[in-house]
Homo-oligomer: A and B are copies of this chain.
């Protein structure tokens, strides 16, 4: 069972997608199994982290940018190699256990689409590009 969603990611941020994952799992009718959340982009990832204090996401963005900064040695012409690095550090997917029809997340866990490309806001500001839509896909398996 496959579900696809889009979101408007106009700037570097962690976008909560827990509601969409819950919705898809409910639609699937699967009560016990797993759900895979997959990001088909190479400069974004899927992360599971704190759902309560928005300061955590703020700090995640800072810490990732410090660990994986842009570098003079980088060759990729688009100038967003740091985002490619952060994408592989976060991972292209997350797998969550489904138990009794519900996501088996911890109390403080939320699922995020991590848009970690610092150049996204510049691209969105270009003429004729009012927004950059990103996709994510879910597959539930019993």
Assembly stoichiometry (copies): 3
A103 → B minimal CB distance (Å):
10
Say which size band chain A's interface belongs to: 35 or more
Interface flags for A46-68 (1: CB within 8 Å of B; 0: not) read 01111001011011101110111
Beta-carbon nearest neighbor of A100 in chain B: B2
Report Cα–Cα, A116/B89, bound state, in Å: 14
User: With A88-B47, A142-B141 known to touch, is A62 a contact of B55 (CB < 8 Å)?
Assistant: no
CA–CA, A78 and B52, complex, Å: 12
30 A-B pairs (CB sep. < 8 Å): A2-B32, A2-B97, A34-B141, A36-B97, A40-B104, A40-B105, A41-B106, A42-B56, A48-B88, A48-B92, A50-B76, A50-B84, A53-B76, A53-B77, A55-B76, A55-B81, A56-B76, A59-B73, A59-B81, A60-B81, A60-B84, A63-B68, A63-B71, A63-B74, A67-B68, A98-B139, A99-B137, A99-B139, A104-B139, A141-B141
